[in-house]
Amino acid sequence: MSIRLFDFLTGLSGALDLISPEVVGHHKRVAYAAVRLARVLDLPRAERTDLYVAGLLHDVGGFSIQSRLAALQFEADGVRHAERGFRLLRKNPLLEGVAVIVRHHHTPFARFGLLPPDQDGPPRKLFLANVLCLADRLDVLFVCREGRQGNMSPTEIERVLKSFSGTLFDPAFVPALVELAADERFWADMATTDPTAALTGSADMFDERGMTRAQLMDASQAFSQIIDFRSRFTATHTRGVAEAAVCLAEKARFNAADLDQMRLAGNLHDLGKLAVPSEIINKPGPLSAQERDIMRRHPELGHAILSSVPGLEQVTDWASQHHEQPNGEGYPGGVSGRELSLGSRILAVADVFTALREDRPYRAGMGRADTLRILDDMAADNALDPLVASLVHAHHAELNDRRLAAQTLAAEEFREFYTGLEQ
Residues 341 and 303 in one domain: yes
The pLDDT score that the predictor gives to residue 148 is: 43
Boundary-marking domain end, from 140, 171, 198: 198
Residue 149 — very low, low, confident or very high, per pLDDT cuts 50/70/90?
very low
| CA 177 – CA 351 distance, rounded (Å) | 49
Phi, psi of 95 (to 5 degrees): -120, 5
Rounded percentage of the chain residues whose pLDDT exceeds 90: 61
Per-residue pLDDT tens over the stretch 277-296? 777 887 878 889 999 999 99
Q: How many residues does the chain have?
A: 423
Residue 76 — very low, low, confident or very high, per pLDDT cuts 50/70/90?
low
Residues 289 and 191 in one domain: no
Domain assignment present for 412? yes
Domain assignment present for 279? yes
Give the DSSP letter of residue 287: P
Domain assignment present for 207? no
Instruction: Give the total number of structural domains in the chain.
Output: 2
Per-residue pLDDT tens over the stretch 207-261? 555 678 888 888 888 888 888 887 777 889 999 999 999 999 999 999 999 999 9
Q: What is the CATH number of the domain that holds 263?
A: 1.10.3210.10
Residue 202 — very low, low, confident or very high, per pLDDT cuts 50/70/90?
low
Please check the confidence at residue 68 and state whether its pLDDT lies above 50: no
Residues 189 and 251 in one domain: no
Domain assignment present for 192? yes
Give the DSSP letter of residue 360: B
| CA 355 – CA 333 distance, rounded (Å) | 22
Residue 265, domain extent: 213-418
* Residue 188 burial (C-beta neighbours within 10 Å; 0-12, 13-18, 19+): exposed
Boundary-marking domain end, from 198, 228, 245: 198
How many H helices and E strands in the chain? Answer: 21, 0
Residues 130 and 234 in one domain: no
Q: Residues 378, 389: contact at Cβ < 8 Å?
A: yes
Domain assignment present for 208? no
Please check the confidence at residue 20 and state whether its pLDDT lies above 70: no
The pLDDT score that the predictor gives to residue 211 is: 79
Nearest Cα neighbor of 318 from 272, 366, 274, 266 is 266
Residues 227 and 191 in one domain: no
CA angle 413, 419, 420 (to 5 degrees): 150
